[in-house]
Amino acid sequence: MGMAWWMVNLGASALALAFVLSLYATLAPLYGVRKGDYRWVESARHALGIIVALLSLSSAALIYLLVNRRFEVAFVQSVTNTLMPLFLVVTAWWGGQAGSLLFWSWLMSMYAAGVAWRDWRRDREFLPWVVVFTSMTLAFFLFLTTVLENPFRRLWAMPDGQVVEALFPPAGAQLFRPAEGQGLNPLLRHPGMIAHPPALYLGFVGFVIPYAFAMAALITRRTDARWIRLTRRWSVVAWFFLAMGLILGSRWAYDVLGWGGYWGWDPVEIAALLPWLTGTAFIHSVMIQERRDMLKHWNVLLIIFTYSLVVFGTFLTRTGVLSSVHAFAQSSIGPAFFIYIVATFLLSTGLLLWRWQDLRSVRPIRSLLSREAMFLYVNLIFLMITAVSLWGLIYPLLSELFIGEKVTLGPPYYERVNGPLFAAMVLLMGVGPLTVWGRTRWEKLRKAMFWPGVVAVVGVAILFLRGMRNPGALLGFALVFFTGAVTVLEFVRDTRARRMATKEPWLVAFLRLLSRNPRRYGGYIVHLGVLFMALGIIGIEFFQFETQRTLAAGQRLRIREFEVEYVGLQVFQTNDGREVARAILKVYKDGKPVGEIYPRQDFYILERQPMTIPGVYSTWEKDLYALLVGWRPISSEGATFKFYYNPLIRWLWFGAWVLTFGTFIALWPMPELRAVTRFLVREDKAKAPATAG
């Protein structure tokens, strides 16, 4: 018995034991509450810690099998081969069905254990129910991983020559080890796949925590804002990782799929977007309950929707029920997923209806121009975008069920309906900060909107004079300029007010402003990041230009202000099993060379699958995006290229970095942020008047 045998049995045993313990952690708190014996709850907490250790052990065993290419393990054989580099072999852990479910469960166990082991002295009544709902979710995914999609199943050769997958040897079977593995899907062999799936999963898993607290609040009738305060950072972290997962997926699509864009309203893209939409609405809405003790029903309903959409999104991604370039798994776990989604949604909404009266708000919304009304409008728009996108997602399934034909709603449907809704959202991002709690006088609001309005009008006038005539784009830029001006003016006014009160220099006043209220100003920075991303979206959606041309060696093609010269073609093989055809294109602007780009086609020999990788020349104003479509055996005879002219797309990626920075500011504990501020400014308060100015 070799090391691989021990690793298979160690990994499978640890996984099975973790599943049993997850069932125990779900049931033990219920028994403890019923019997009034808190030791059962404490025992469940300890069980969650043990589950983390067991799943870490199981994951380590699977990684060992992957790294050592133990092809007798069915999962290893399906996602690796001898030509793949080490980093891709390790990331193949989440590149296939069974491994990704284990990865999901491992992340969930750490979230569950982390929240279970916090200090519960003030909120002891929440603990049993938080453990129950987090363990319930973990138990479901461990059931899928252990029973239906076990990553430690091996390949066995039957007496009749058939090869089957099984955890234990069938009667008369011999262990079968193929000479080579199938290898990871070439589409997944990109550095973005190192971070994209983990980020999505961290976002998916993270929203389980506020959901569990919401259910605990309903059961214990603690319907004040305490559960929201306890989960604020969990919610923001989950939202951030889900946002990063979406952005990294967009970058992967831009770099790998060769369609010239970042988003195609693909079913799996939408499945990941849906919980982000409701989660964003939830993060905005809970501020009203904290500040005004309002929108309690909304908050519970939004987190129920988010949790259900998290499971639904995982269901679509992992079952292959919808056709997608992002879906790489086909399996029979769909019925179990469907039953779980329905059961948990009915359970959650039943609890909500049971405590409906307890969630009544004592303060109604008294003005349509109040701050709380703006947050309600945000909720409604996010839910409308969610409903539109969800309908487009499930329509093919419904059409196939009722008329026997799968009818797909393409990108034009989503863009025509969601485009105006997203525009309204950008407008609310600008108007919202100008309103006040309770009631905002129209005269005061109109006065506050004057200078941002001037910025928007001037900005659009400049674009118009420079030749822009597209009304949709002009409206989009106007909204971005208006909201951006509001956000920047909020920083300027508040910094100036602090400077006048403390006589601090501008930089010192600004940094200390951030440290005093990181949640508010971090949120504003996030809004700026969203606006930068909106610039990139407007640019590529309204002004993208494409053309296709066959060029002979030395021939040039003009694309707007660029000229592209085809230099030649290189064909070679790599050590990782690819045959590469790589074109060389020189890029000129105003007659001067500014760079070279190298579009190529990779042909994976073992998998017999081609990949088209673009060459991109990028500036802050536009990208020149080139695809090698075809070529002749002799490079001098020419090659065919498809070119995309993508204005402002770099601002989308820059906005993601700004969003990341804003999230870190919003999450940073205030005492630590103040310490960092003191370190940065290096100024003694007693010397502030002398350095002012």
Mean pLDDT confidence for 48-70 = 96
3-state class of 36 per DSSP? coil
Residue 117 above 50 pLDDT?
A: yes
In the structure encoding, which two tokens stand for residue 239, read together? Answer: 């939202």
Mean pLDDT confidence for 492-520 = 87
600-625 tens-digit pLDDT: 998 888 777 888 899 999 999 999 99
Mean pLDDT confidence for 91-115 = 92
Mean pLDDT confidence for 557-577 = 90
Q: What is the pLDDT of residue 635?
A: 52
Q: What is the pLDDT of residue 1?
A: 61
pLDDT category at 14 given cuts 50, 70, 90 is very high
Count of alpha carbons within 13 angstroms of residue 524, beta-carbon side? 22
- How far is the first Cα of the chain from the last one, in angstroms, to the nearest whole number? 77
pLDDT category at 201 given cuts 50, 70, 90 is very high
Q: What is the pLDDT of residue 642?
A: 95
Mean pLDDT confidence for 149-159 = 93
Residue 325 above 70 pLDDT?
A: no
Residue 503 above 60 pLDDT?
A: yes
Burial class (CB in 10 A: 0-12, 13-18, 19+), 481: buried
Q: What is the pLDDT of residue 636?
A: 59
Please name the residues in contact with 147: beta carbons below 8 A apart, sequence gap of 6 or more. Answer: 19
Mean pLDDT confidence for 518-523 = 90
Q: What is the pLDDT of residue 142?
A: 96
pLDDT category at 523 given cuts 50, 70, 90 is very high
Identity of residue 299: N
Identity of residue 35: K
Give how far Cα 82 sits from Cα of 97, 269, 424, 614, Å: 20, 31, 52, 27
Q: What is the pLDDT of residue 360?
A: 85
**Between 396 and 107, whose confidence is greater?**
107
Phi, psi of 347 (to 5 degrees): -60, -45
**Beta strands 600-604 and 578-589, pairing class:** antiparallel
Rg of the chain over all Cα atoms, to the nearest angstrom? 28
Check if the beta carbon of residue 116 is closer than 8 Å to that of residue 22: no
Angle in degrees, 0-180, between the axes of helices 371-403 and 267-292, rounded to the nearest 10 = 150
DSSP string, 134-146: HHHHHHHHHHIII
Check if the beta carbon of residue 656 is closer than 8 Å to that of residue 244: yes
Q: What's the rounded Cα separation, in Å, for the pair 669 and 672?
A: 6
Q: What is the pLDDT of residue 683?
A: 47
Q: What's the rounded Cα separation, in Å, for the pair 56 and 48?
A: 12
The closest alpha carbon to 112, from 81, 87, 134, belongs to: 134
Please name the residues in contact with 647: beta carbons below 8 A apart, sequence gap of 6 or more. Answer: 539, 540, 543, 544, 621, 622
Mean pLDDT confidence for 591-599 = 93
Strand partners, 628: 641
Q: What is the pLDDT of residue 318?
A: 67
Give Dmax over CA atoms of the chain in angstroms.
91
In the structure encoding, which two tokens stand for residue 135, read together? Answer: 């363990």
Mean pLDDT of the chain: 89
In the structure encoding, which two tokens stand for residue 367, read together? Answer: 């003005």
The closest alpha carbon to 621, from 561, 546, 665, belongs to: 561
Q: What is the pLDDT of residue 587?
A: 96
Q: Say which range, 215-224, 501-510, 596-605, 642-651, has the weakest mean pLDDT.
A: 501-510
In the structure encoding, which two tokens stand for residue 633, read together? Answer: 């055996």
Q: pTM for this structure?
A: 0.90
Q: What is the pLDDT of residue 682?
A: 56
Q: What is the pLDDT of residue 690?
A: 44
381-402 tens-digit pLDDT: 999 999 999 999 888 888 877 8
DSSP 8-state code for residue 117? T
Q: What's the rounded Cα separation, in Å, for the pair 689 and 238?
A: 43
Q: What's the rounded Cα separation, in Å, for the pair 307 and 278?
A: 9
Q: What is the pLDDT of residue 675?
A: 56
pLDDT category at 291 given cuts 50, 70, 90 is confident
Q: Which residues of 13-25 are buried (b: 16+ CB within 10 A; e: fewer)?
A: ebbbbbbebbbbb
Give how far Cα 140 sits from Cα of 23, 145, 146, 219, 271, Å: 9, 9, 10, 21, 20
Residue 672 above 60 pLDDT?
A: no
pLDDT category at 674 given cuts 50, 70, 90 is low
Mean pLDDT confidence for 442-457 = 93
Mean pLDDT confidence for 419-444 = 92
Residue 213 above 60 pLDDT?
A: yes
DSSP string, 561-586: TEEEEEEEEEEEE-TTSEEEEEEEEE
Q: What's the rounded Cα separation, in Å, for the pair 327 and 533?
A: 26
pLDDT category at 688 given cuts 50, 70, 90 is very low
In the structure encoding, which two tokens stand for residue 679, read together? Answer: 């370190």
Q: What is the pLDDT of residue 181?
A: 87
Residue 673 above 80 pLDDT?
A: no
Mean pLDDT confidence for 561-580 = 90
Q: What's the rounded Cα separation, in Å, for the pair 268 and 589?
A: 39
Q: What is the pLDDT of residue 605?
A: 80
What are the residue ranges of helices labelled H in 253-333? 267-292, 296-319
Q: What share of the chain in percent tops pLDDT 90?
A: 62
Mean pLDDT confidence for 549-574 = 92
